[in-house]
Structure 1
Amino acid sequence: MLPAHHRMRASGDFRATIRGGSRGKSTSLMVHLQSPDGTQADQEPTLVGFVVPKTVGNAVIRNRLTRQLRHLLREKVTEFPSGYRLVVRVFPSARGKTSSELGAEFDRAYARAVKAQR
């Protein structure tokens, strides 16, 4: 489970990250990445949020994908720079993928988002 202090909850945080951040896309996921914009960014935790629309599938499928991604990002959240905000948007093609496949998709999308930020 992703630690509570790393979970993005406020709709304003989601909106700001999606609109103002850089994007990286793979076949099943899109990662929106926003760097910190303050002097106290080192003291803020990295926030992670998920967007899994109904087009992906029913509630069982959406919740399963969210759990898989939360589990993957729990291990990776310490690698991200502090103060960053990250939103993972899931596409319908993610349905039925294993955790290792989703992990590879996330790594690809995250690398593209980091590259687009520079």
Structure 2
Amino acid sequence: MKRGEDFALAMRGGRRAGRSTLVAHLWSADLDTPEPRVAVARTGPARAGFVVSKAVGPAVTRNRVKRRLRHLVAARLDRLPGGSVLVVRALPPAAAAAGDELARDLDSALRRLGGSG
């Protein structure tokens, strides 16, 4: 995902679940979330985007966290409802977290959001 409207849809109109290393935002028509103000495809595969701010660390660290999250989400994307939009925001502890801790937090957040996990 690259469009700001898609990020805003999930972050402002979707559900949110926070964990120690990340915050997941999920918008899906299947989860009774509010109707979007912008046109969004309700069919097709689920999409994901990532927010990793400078608070997480320098560029090398941010990119490593983003790659790790991208890998974890790719393995779970097919479990989300079709047409849904997922935004994963990394928190500063994500920089020092082990891969299994990130995976646990992501699975826990997705279960909380109703997107399986």
Which residue of the partner structure matches residue 111 of structure 2? 111
Q: CA RMSD, aligned part only?
A: 1.7
The question of whether the paired residues in 1 share the 8 Å contact of 2:21 and 2:97 is answered with: no
| Number of equivalences | 106
Q: What runs of 5+ residues in structure 1 fail to find an aligned partner? A: 1-7
The separation in 2 between residues aligned to 1:70 and 1:80, in whole angstroms, is: 15
The separation in 2 between residues aligned to 1:93 and 1:55, in whole angstroms, is: 10
The offset of 1:81, in angstroms, is 1.3
The offset of 1:103, in angstroms, is 0.4
Task: Say which of 5, 8, 15 aligns to 2:8.
Answer: 15
The separation in 2 between residues aligned to 1:110 and 1:75, in whole angstroms, is: 13
Give the alignment's TM-score, normalised by structure 2: 0.83
Of the two structures, which has the highest relative contact order with CA contacts closer than 8 Å and spacing of 6 or more?
1
Quick one: which amino acid aligns to residue 96 of structure 1?
A: A
The question of whether the paired residues in 1 share the 8 Å contact of 2:24 and 2:87 is answered with: yes
The offset of 1:111, in angstroms, is 1.7
- 1:93 equivalent to 2:86? Answer no
Which residue of the partner structure matches residue 35 of structure 1? 28
Which residue of the partner structure matches residue 32 of structure 2? none
The question of whether the paired residues in 2 share the 8 Å contact of 1:24 and 1:111 is answered with: no
Q: What runs of 5+ residues in structure 2 fail to find an aligned partner? A: 30-34
Q: Helix, strand or coil: the match of 2:65?
A: helix
Identity %: 40
